[in-house]
Amino acid sequence: MLGKPSEVEPASRLPALSNVFNNDVAILCGVILVAWVLTLLAAATGQEHLLHHNALIKHHPLPFPLKLLLFLATWQVMTTAMMLPSTLPLVRLFVRASREQPQPRLVLLTFLGAYIAVWTGFAIVAFVGDMGLHWLLYHWFWLHQHPWIIAGFTLLLAGGFQFSGLKEQCLKACRHPLSFLTHHYQRGLQAAWNLGTRHGLYCLGCCWALMLVMFAVGVGHFTWMVVLTAVMTLERTWKRGRELVPVIGVAFLVWGVLVLLHPNWLPDLLGGHA
């Protein structure tokens, strides 16, 4: 089981030292910027659909392994753009704590690799599940006639999870990176991998339902990437993020009910499918 962090200063009120960008953190910020630029270019040039998992599932006559590899390549860009910004407070502290280790940059890469591996595992499960939903959509006539049902229940799931105990526990770990690091930091590459995995699991626990909304709108959709990134970052780093959680939950619940009652509440950007 994951350890329960104590209540200390949230990420938005870390000491000034955590706001100092050393070279490694600056490079990471550059990588995040590149991910956003790539996504923006895809949207601006009308090629955004190439990033969507729906296009891979529906229109590409490729074998499943190649579809999965192409999707995971897109997913890495999206994860870098959406998830790493809210992880920066912990990364700054981790870089500072591991400076005296042998090969500190390799230690950092190991930590980040484990974090990304957790989200990649989630992506594989979600992609396979989405392929199953598409199969069901094509073989169940009623669902084929009412495809907005999938998006409606996805919104209800995301909204309901906002009020869960698991969401609150995982958010505590993400909001208090100094406490998290104090409880779990150890030296060595294996320890860095374990720490990255633990942090990734907490992050996944916070955000998996919101990322399912990303699946509903199509992986790579720029507008929704911006909206959901803002929501997840504010929830995890803003000093009033705890107050935002139920607001987002109610918004998704209401929207989900409206979509189930009438598909006109589902705008074109959600597309009416998963």
**Residue bearing tokens 């190991």:** 110
Contact between 156 and 69 under an 8 Å Cβ cutoff? The reply is no
- Higher pLDDT, residue 192 or 21: 192
Pick from 9-23, 59-73, 175-189, 192-206: least confident: 9-23
Greatest mean pLDDT among 7-16, 133-142, 169-178: 169-178
For residue 7, the 8-state DSSP code is -
Q: Which of 182, 195, 176, 42 is nearest to 117 (CA)?
A: 195
Q: Within 10 A of 60 (CB to CB), how many other CB atoms are there?
A: 12
Cα–Cα distance for residue pair 91/184, rounded to 1 Å: 14
DSSP string, 211-266: HHHHHHH-TT-HHHHHHHHHHHHHHHHSTTHHHHHHHHHHHHHHHHHHHHH-GGGS
C-alpha distances in Å from residue 13, one per residue of 4, 20, 22: 20, 14, 19
pTM: 0.82
User: How does residue 175 score in pLDDT terms, banded at 50, 70 and 90?
Assistant: very high
User: Which of 81, 95, 1, 87 is CA-nearest to residue 42?
Assistant: 81
Please give the pLDDT value at position 5: 45
Q: To the nearest whole number, what is the mean pLDDT of the chain?
A: 84
Question: pLDDT-derived band of residue 269, with 50, 70 and 90 as boundaries?
Answer: very low
Q: What is the pLDDT of residue 16?
A: 40
Higher model confidence: residue 234 or residue 45? 234
pLDDT of residue 66: 82
Residue 183: other Cβ atoms inside 10 A? 15
When pLDDT is averaged across residues 246-264 and rounded to a whole number, the result is 92
pLDDT at residue 133, rounded to an integer: 87
Hey, what amino acid is at 234? Answer: L
